[in-house]
C-alpha cells in the first residue's frame, strides 16, 4: 500500500511538472542601466530618507548639522507629497525638464474648475517643493566629491529624468527638449 502511495506521489509530481510548468509564464523586465549620476542622486535621496528615520526615533542619533537642511527639506517634501500629487492629477502643475515644479501653461490645463484656494495652495506648494529640491541638490553636490557646483544643471536633469519615471499616468512633464507631454500608462508593467 505504501508503495502505491509513493508511486502515486511521484506520478502526481511528474504530472504537475509536465502539465503545470508549461502553463507558468516568466516575465523578465530588462531595464537600461542607470548612469553613475543617477545612482548618486538616488543614493543621496536614500541617505536622506535613512536620516529621516533616524531623526524620527526618540533615542536615535542627532542628524549632523551639515545634513540637517537637506533632511528638513526631504521631510517637507514627504509632508507635501500627497497635495502635490493631487494638483498634478488635476493637471494644474507639472515637472519641468530641469527638475522643477511649475503651474502648467493654460493651454495644457485640463479645463477642470480650479478654485482660488487651490491655485493659492498650488503656488505655495510649488515654492516649497522647488526650494526643497534646490537644498537637496546642493547637498548631493556637497556630499559627492566627484560633483561640483558647475554640475548642478546635470543633477537637475538627472532628477527630472528620475521624476518622469515615477509620475502617474495623466500627469504632465517636459521632455529633454522642453516639450510638454502627458505621461501615459506603461503597458509593459500592466501585463
Q: Encode pLDDT of 66-98 as tens digits.
A: 889 999 999 999 999 999 999 999 999 999 999
Q: Give 166 or 54, the one with higher predicted confidence.
A: 166
The domain limits of the chain are 36-182
pLDDT tens for each residue of 105-137 = 876 666 667 888 989 999 999 999 999 999 999
Note the pTM of the prediction, 2 decimals: 0.68
28 grid coordinates: 523578465
Mean pLDDT across 146-157: 96
What b/e readout covers 84-94, taking b as 16+ CB neighbours within 10 angstroms?
beebbebbbbb
- The upper half-sphere exposure of residue 37, i.e. CA atoms within 13 Å in the direction of its Cβ, equals 16
Amino acid at each position: 500500500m505504501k508503495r502505491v502511495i509513493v508511486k502515486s506521489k511521484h506520478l502526481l509530481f511528474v504530472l504537475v511538472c509536465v502539465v503545470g510548468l508549461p502553463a507558468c509564464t516568466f516575465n523578465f523586465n530588462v531595464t537600461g542601466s542607470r548612469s553613475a549620476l543617477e545612482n548618486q542622486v538616488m543614493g543621496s535621496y536614500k541617505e536622506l530618507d535613512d536620516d529621516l528615520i533616524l531623526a524620527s526615533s526618540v533615542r536615535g542619533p542627532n542628524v549632523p548639522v551639515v545634513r540637517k537642511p537637506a533632511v528638513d527639506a526631504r521631510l517637507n517634501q514627504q509632508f507635501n507629497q500627497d497635495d502635490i500629487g493631487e494638483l498634478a492629477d488635476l493637471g494644474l502643475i507639472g515637472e519641468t525638464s530641469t527638475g522643477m515644479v511649475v503651474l502648467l501653461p493654460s493651454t495644457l490645463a485640463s479645463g477642470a474648475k480650479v478654485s482660488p484656494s487651490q491655485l493659492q495652495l498650488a503656488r505655495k506648494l510649488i515654492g516649497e517643493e522647488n526650494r526643497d529640491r534646490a537644498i537637496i541638490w546642493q547637498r548631493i553636490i556637497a556630499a559627492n566629491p566627484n560633483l561640483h557646483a558647475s554640475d548642478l544643471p546635470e543633477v537637475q536633469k538627472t532628477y527630472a529624468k528620475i521624476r518622469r519615471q515615477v509620475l502617474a499616468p495623466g500627469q504632465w512633464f517636459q521632455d529633454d527638449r522642453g516639450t510638454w507631454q502627458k505621461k501615459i500608462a506603461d503597458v509593459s508593467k500592466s501585463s
